Amino acid sequence: MKIINIEDKNYPEQLRKIKNPPKKLYILGDEKILSNKSIAIVGSRNCTRYGKKEALRFSQDLTRQGLQITSGMAMGIDTYAHTGCINENGKTIAVLGCGFNHLYPKENKELFNKIIDTGGAVISEYPPVLEPSSDKFKQRNRIVCGLSIATLIIEAAARSGTSITARFTMEQEKPVFCIPNSLENNKGVGTNELLKKGALLATCIDDILNKCNIPKIKVDITGNSKYIKKEYQKIYNLIEEEPTNINDISKKLKLNISEIATKLLFMEMEGIIKKVAGNSYIRI
């Protein structure tokens, strides 16, 4: 563990400028990335399938543009924001609302390790012995947006910590983006309200890149940084983060199951998909 004081040269300058900056940062991982250009992605802990899909999409697409993703390592949208970045070989920053000795949520212990192992950083303003609390979670949100040039909100209930992150972002005079949500989705009430109050609509990363004056980088036509052999591409395109059954793949491609099973086996050996329960597959 490293400790950076606010007076230190390697303390991130953009964080030093916010109201009430943390006096100390406790860091596990690479402290150098704290000064890199980052986008905060936050949202509901109890997110919908739509929210999960959009968090992964935006996180992956922004990572392909050379940006880092910063979030709070909570369940739900935060988890998928970090995961999308890691999936694209990016480096992500997680800001905790507790000390390292009381990791919360415990379900994200594996994600915690993966963030560090892939060159990212997990940080906290709290000494390792301090336990999590609602006040600490609220306060860590100012650090999440303080390390970022903009905040993207995927889903948020009417009253939530996500709305606090939006307020901190606006106080720091940085843009807040929200994706549109169905009026029937109670997890989208907060984002729709923020849009009414002046947050910026984001339907793709171009909306964020243009507002933040970030030149767009051309990516390969598949939209994936992983190399997928041509013979596997059609099958790979049908497999998502949610489990996809081999029978569904067979019907959509009109190929026999034995032929698909062989290709799926080789794809799994190459580490681009994973077999799960029920003869189904997910992307890695």
Q: What is the pLDDT of residue 154?
A: 94
Q: What is the pLDDT of residue 237?
A: 85
Q: What is the pLDDT of residue 156?
A: 86
Given 3.40.50.720, 3.40.50.450, 1.10.260.40, 3.50.50.100, which CATH number is that of 8-211?
3.40.50.450
Q: What is the mean pLDDT of each run of 10 residues along the chain (284 residues)?
A: 95 94 96 96 92 93 95 94 92 96 92 95 96 92 97 86 88 95 81 91 95 82 57 86 89 90 84 87 86
Q: What is the pLDDT of residue 230?
A: 76
**Is 0.75 topped by the overall pTM?**
yes
Q: What is the pLDDT of residue 224?
A: 47
Q: What is the pLDDT of residue 158?
A: 73
With tokens 């994936």, the residue in question is 224
Tokens standing for residue 188: 């989208």
Q: Does the 230-283 domain belong in CATH 3.20.20.100?
A: no
Phi, psi values for residue 237, rounded to 5°: -65, -25
DSSP secondary structure code for residue 132 in this structure: P
Domain with CATH 1.10.10.10 in the chain: 230-283
Domain with CATH 3.40.50.450 in the chain: 8-211
Give which of 259, 94, 71 is closest to 162, Cα–Cα: 71
